[in-house]
Structure 1
Amino acid sequence: MLRIQNLILFLLLSASMSCSNKKSPPVNQAPRSTPLCQQGPAPPSYCDTIKTYTGNVTTVSGTATYKPREIINGILSGEVTTPLPIRYAEIEVTDSNGNVAQCGETDANGNFSLQLPMDSQTYTISIRSRANNNHYKAQVFDAPERKNLYSLSTQVTTTTSNITGITLTASATGNILSGAFNILDQVLKANDFLRTQVGACPFSGCQQFTVAPNIDIYWEKGFNPATYFDPNPSSPASFYLMGYSCLFISGGNGTSPSTGDPNNEDTDHFDNSIILHEYGHFLEDVYSKSDSPGGSHGGNRIIDPRLAWGEGWGNFFQAAVRNSPDYIDTFGNTDGTNYGYIFNIPLEDVSTFGCSSSPSKPGCDLPTNNGEGNFREFAITRTLWDLFDDATETGDNVNASFPDIWATLTSSTGFLDPLTAFRSIGLLHERQPALTGSTPDDWSSVQTLHKQNINRTQFAQYVTGGSCVNYTLNSKGYSFFIDGIDDPNDTGSIDTANLLMNADFYHYKHSGGGLTIELSYQTDPSDPDETPSEPDMDLYLIRETDALSSPFKVSENYIDGNINTSETESISISNLDPGNYLIVVIIYTGVNDSGGTIGNTPNGLRFPAGSQTYYNILANGVTLCPSSL
Structure 2
Amino acid sequence: MQLPARGVTVEAVDASGTVLASDTTDESGGYNVDVDSGIGLRIQVRSQLEKTDAASWDIKILDNTSDYALYVLNGALLDSGTANSVRDLNAGSGWTGQSYSETRAAAPFAILDSVYEAVIQLEAIDPDIQLPSLEILWSVDNRPSSGNVTDGNIGTSSYSRTTRGPTIRILGAANNDTDEYDDHVVVHEFAHFLEDQISRSDSIGGPHGGADRLDTRVAFSEGLGNAFAGMILTDPIYQDSFGARQEAGFNVNVETNFFTKGWFSESSVQSVLYDIFDSEDDGVDNISAGLSPIYTILTDPDYITSPDFTTIFLFADLARTKSGIDPNDLTALFTAELITGTGPQGDGETLSGNFPRALPVYKPVPIDGDPVEICSIDDNGTYNKHGNRAFLIFSIAESGNYTFTMSRDLSSNLNTPNRDPDILVFKDAALINRFESDATDVETGTMTLEPGDYQIEAYEFNNVAERDTGDSCFNFTISS
TM > 0.5 fold call = yes
CA–CA distance in structure 1, aligned partners of residues 121 and 27 of structure 2: 15
Greater mean deviation of Cα atoms: 322-331 or 509-518: 509-518
Match of 1:431 among 318, 325, 335: 318
- Answering whether residue 449 of structure 2 is matched by residue 542 of structure 1, we say no
Gap change, CA 1:163 and 1:318, over 3 Å in 2: same
Inter-CA distance 149–306: structure 2 relative to 1 (3 Å threshold):
same
* Shift of residue 330, structure 1, vs aligned partner: 0.4
Equivalence for 1:507: 393
Q: Aligned equivalents of 1:89 and 1:441: distance in 2?
A: 44
Change beyond 3 A, Cα 1:316–1:131 = same
Q: Which residue does the alignment assign to 1:582? A: 456
Q: What is the RMSD of the two structures over their aligned residues, measured on CA atoms?
A: 4.1
Alignment counterpart, residue 281 of structure 2, candidates 381, 389, 392: 392
Aligned counterparts, 1:44-443, within 5 A: 80=1, 83-119=2-38, 121-133=39-51, 134=53, 137-143=58-64, 145-164=67-86, 166-173=87-94, 174-196=102-124, 198-199=125-126, 210=129, 212-224=131-143, 229=148, 237-242=156-161, 244-252=165-173, 262=174, 264-332=175-243, 337-349=244-256, 364=259, 366-367=260-261, 373-400=262-289, 402-414=291-303, 416-417=304-305, 420-436=307-323, 442-443=329-330
Deviations along 1:187-211, one digit per CA (max 9) or x if unpaired, are 1100122234x33xxxxxxxx6545
Moved more, 537-546 or 397-406: 537-546
User: 1:150·1:180 contact (CA, 8 Å) conserved in 2?
Assistant: no
From 556, 572, 580, the equivalent of 2:444 is 572
CA distance in structure 2 between the aligned counterparts of 1:460 and 1:229, rounded to whole angstroms = 39
State the shift of 1:343 in Å. 2.2
541 and 116 in structure 1: CA distance in 2 versus 1, 3 angstrom threshold? same
* In structure 2, C-alpha distance between the alignment counterparts of 1:162 and 1:553, rounded to whole Å: 72
1:221-250 residue CA offsets vs partner (Å, 9 max, x unmatched) = 233385554798888521111372221211
CA contact (8 A) 1:422 1:460 kept: no
Corresponding residue number in structure 1 for 2:355: none
Give % identity: 23
**Contact 1:460–1:507 at 8 Å: present in 2 too?**
no
Change (3 A) 1:110 1:426: same
1:398, 1:441 within 8 Å by CA — same for their partners in 2? no
**Cα distance change on mapping 1:344 and 1:546 into 2, 3 Å:** farther
Aligned pair count reads 435
1:552 aligns with one of 436, 456, 466: 436
Match of 1:448 in 2: 335
Structure 1 residue 618 corresponds to structure 2 residue 477: yes
Cα displacement (A) at 1:426 = 1.5
Secondary structure (helix, strand or coil) at the match of 2:49 reads strand
Q: Matched residues in 2 for 1:157 and 1:385: separation? A: 52
Q: Which amino acid aligns with 2:321?
A: A
In structure 2, relative to structure 1, the CA distance for the partners of 1:497 and 1:215 (3 Å cut) is closer
User: Against the structure 1 CA distance between its residues 95 and 497, is the aligned structure 2 distance closer, same or farther, given a 3 Å change threshold?
Assistant: closer
AA of the residue aligned to 2:318 = R
Deviation per CA, 1:93-150: give whole Å up to 9, x if none: 122233222222222211122222112x321111211121257531112228343332
Inter-partner Cα distance in structure 2 for 1:167 and 1:231: 33
Which runs of structure 2 are paired with 1:6-21 in the superposition (5 Å)? none
Mark the CA change 1:304 to 1:421 in structure 2 (over 3 Å): closer, same or farther: same
Distance 1:619 1:171, change over 3 A: same
Q: Which amino acid aligns with 1:422?
A: F
C-alpha displacement of 1:171: 0.8
When residues 554 and 410 of structure 1 are mapped into structure 2, their CA distance, relative to the original with a 3 A threshold, is: farther
Query: In the alignment, residue 305 of structure 1 is paired with which amino acid?
Result: T
- Higher Cα Rg, which structure: 1
Kept in 1, the 8 Å contact 2:4–2:28? The answer is yes
Unaligned runs of 5+ in 2: 95-101, 348-358, 464-469
Partner Cα distance (1:503, 1:167) in 2: 56
The code of the aligned residue for 2:41 comes to Y
| Contact 2:226–2:254 (Cα < 8 Å) also in 1 | no
Cross-structure match for 1:474: none
Distance 1:113 1:232, change over 3 A: closer
Once the two structures are superposed, residues 300-339 of structure 1 have per-residue CA deviations (whole angstroms, 9 ceiling, x without a partner) of 221211122221111111111111112211015xxxx543
Distance 1:494 1:228 in 2: 22
One-letter amino acid of the structure 2 residue matched with residue 92 of structure 1:
E
Structure with the bigger RCO (C-alpha within 8 Å, sep 6+) is 1
- Going from structure 1 to structure 2, the CA distance change for 1:389 and 1:454 (only over 3 Å counts) comes to farther
3-state SS in 1 of match to 2:238: strand
Amino acid at match of 1:404: P
Per the alignment, in what secondary structure is the counterpart of residue 271 of structure 2?
helix
1:160 to partner: Cα distance: 2.2
Q: Secondary structure at the match of 1:505?
A: strand
Task: Compute the displacement of 1:512 (Å).
Answer: 7.8
- Kept after mapping to 2: 8 A contact 1:89/1:106: yes
C-alpha separation in 2, matches of 1:516 and 1:454: 28
The 3 A distance-change label for structure 1 pair 507 and 607 is: closer
Determine the C-alpha separation between the residues in 2 that align with 1:520 and 1:100: 67
Q: CA deviation at 1:276?
A: 0.5
Aligned-partner residue type, residue 541 of structure 1: I
1:435 deviation in Å? Answer: 2.6
Deviates more, 1:181-190 or 1:575-584: 575-584
Cα distance change on mapping 1:228 and 1:616 into 2, 3 Å: closer
> Take 1:411 and 1:443, find their aligned partners in 2: how far apart are those partners?
19
